[in-house]
Amino acid sequence: MQLEHELQKQNGKKLTSVYFGGGTPSLLDIADFEKIFNKIIPHINPDAEITVEANPSSWSLEKATALLDMGANRLSLGVQSLNDEKLNFLSRVHDTKSAMSAYDESKKAGFSNISVDFMYDTPFDDEKFLEREIADFLALDATHISAYSLTIEEGTPFEKRGVQTRYDADAAAIVAKNLTAAGYEHYEVASFGRIRSRHNFGYWEYKPYLGVGAGAVGFDGNRREYPSKTIEEYIKNPLFTDTEELSADNITVEKILLGLRSKVGVELSILNNKQNELETLLQNNLLRSDSKRVYATDFFLADELALRLS
């Protein structure tokens, strides 16, 4: 119901990308995917990027082949680690063997654009361990690697278990150095690609997007719509949304943060009241600029730079 409602709101405007993600969409049966694809295919551009997020434990050659036939052309595989002990620490239900098998089956099915998730800054990740695991990931020869530093959120199982990250400031630099040396473009703080994710890049460019499903946020450029977060409440009323109106200041701050985290950069025109700060950051090579935009020279400093420019 919500999907049809959101597509009707497009008034014939075609979608340029689709992302099946959040939770574990790969748990869906092939028949369930078919129903969704039948509804969305008439509403997307022929060259749209269609990504399916998958966990190795719920993936198979049959499912990969079926989704490719339906129109999916990009896979995001939640590998996280290629070390069994680390996977167990991360509470993943798959092991290294099944992760490799899922990747190989995806290639065999015909997926040529595969992104793999990589988690670092766990207690395991001293420099030697990290270098070795990066080499293992590079051996996969994926087209994209999403590399995330482990963070411990309040109230999560990790926090309740007293898990600590290494808080190694050099870890991110090691990851970036090794992946870029292997030919991956570092185009966003956690994204390294031989092929960029067009869908994700749209978020950093502050483009509108539809959100369909429990907890899936939508954005029209000026406001966000939040559906029910729980499955039970969502099923009761799939068209319910809480709306957040964004002020001009909110939008400016978000554009600055998202732009500095990525190669999108920030329009100089929205920084008119920060000329002194801007000049200081440029002189210290923390920013670079062209005639229209400024860019962070180090994405990992984006939050700090955004605070100074907001």
Q: Which residues of 104-133 are buried (b: 16+ CB within 10 A; e: fewer)?
A: ebbeebebebbbbbbbbbbebbeeeebeeb
CA–CA gap between residue 48 and residue 108 (Å, rounded): 22
Question: Could you give all domains of the chain from N- to C-terminal order, each with its CATH number?
Answer: 2-204 (3.20.20.70), 248-309 (no CATH)
Maximum Cα–Cα distance across the chain: 58
**Per-residue pLDDT at 274:** 86
pLDDT at 156: 59
Task: Give the per-residue pLDDT at 151.
Answer: 75
Share of the chain above pLDDT 90, in %: 84
Q: What pTM, to 2 d.p., does this model score? A: 0.93
Q: What is the pLDDT of residues 104-135, one digit of tens each?
A: 999 999 999 999 999 999 989 999 999 999 99
Q: Is residue 166 pLDDT above 60, yes or no?
A: no
CA atoms lying within 13 Å on the CB side of residue 174: 18
CB neighbour list of residue 154: distance below 8 Å, 6 or more residues apart:
none
What distance in Å separates the CA atoms of residue 194 and residue 141, rounded to the nearest whole number?
10
**Contact yes or no for 130/171 (Cβ under 8 A):** yes
pLDDT at 1: 81
- Residues in a beta bridge with 242: 226
> Which residues in 150-292 belong to E strands, given as ranges?
185-188, 191-193, 218-219, 223-226, 242-245, 266-267, 287-289
| Encoded amino acid at 174, one letter | I
Mean pLDDT calculated for residue range 220-225: 94
Which position has the token pair 């295919």? 41
Residues 130/60, Cβ–Cβ less than 8 Å: no
In the block, which residue shows the tokens 């530093």?
A: 149
The pLDDT of residue 22 = 84
Question: What's the chain's average pLDDT?
Answer: 93
Question: Which of residues 300 and 162 earns the better pLDDT score?
Answer: 300
Mean pLDDT of 51-80: 97
Residue 165 is predicted with a pLDDT of 63
Looking up tokens 């694809």 gives 37
Phi/psi at 195 (nearest 5 deg)? -130, 125
C-alpha closest to that of 78 among 103, 50, 110, 105: 103
With vertex at residue 195, the alpha carbon angle to CA 193 and CA 200, rounded to the nearest 5 degrees, is 80
Task: Say what angle helices 248-260 and 302-309 make with each other, to 10 degrees.
Answer: 150
Has residue 164 got a pLDDT over 70?
no
Closest CA to 73 of 147, 179, 144, 146: 144
* pLDDT, tens only, 141-161: 999 999 999 876 666 566 556
Give percent of the chain above pLDDT 70: 94
pLDDT score recorded for residue 152: 64
Q: What is the reported pLDDT for 161? A: 65
User: Picking from 16-25, 149-158, 240-249, 264-273, which range would have the lowest pLDDT averaged per residue?
Assistant: 149-158
pLDDT tens column, 253-282: 999 999 999 999 999 999 988 889 999 999
pLDDT category at 167 given cuts 50, 70, 90 is low
pLDDT at 287: 96
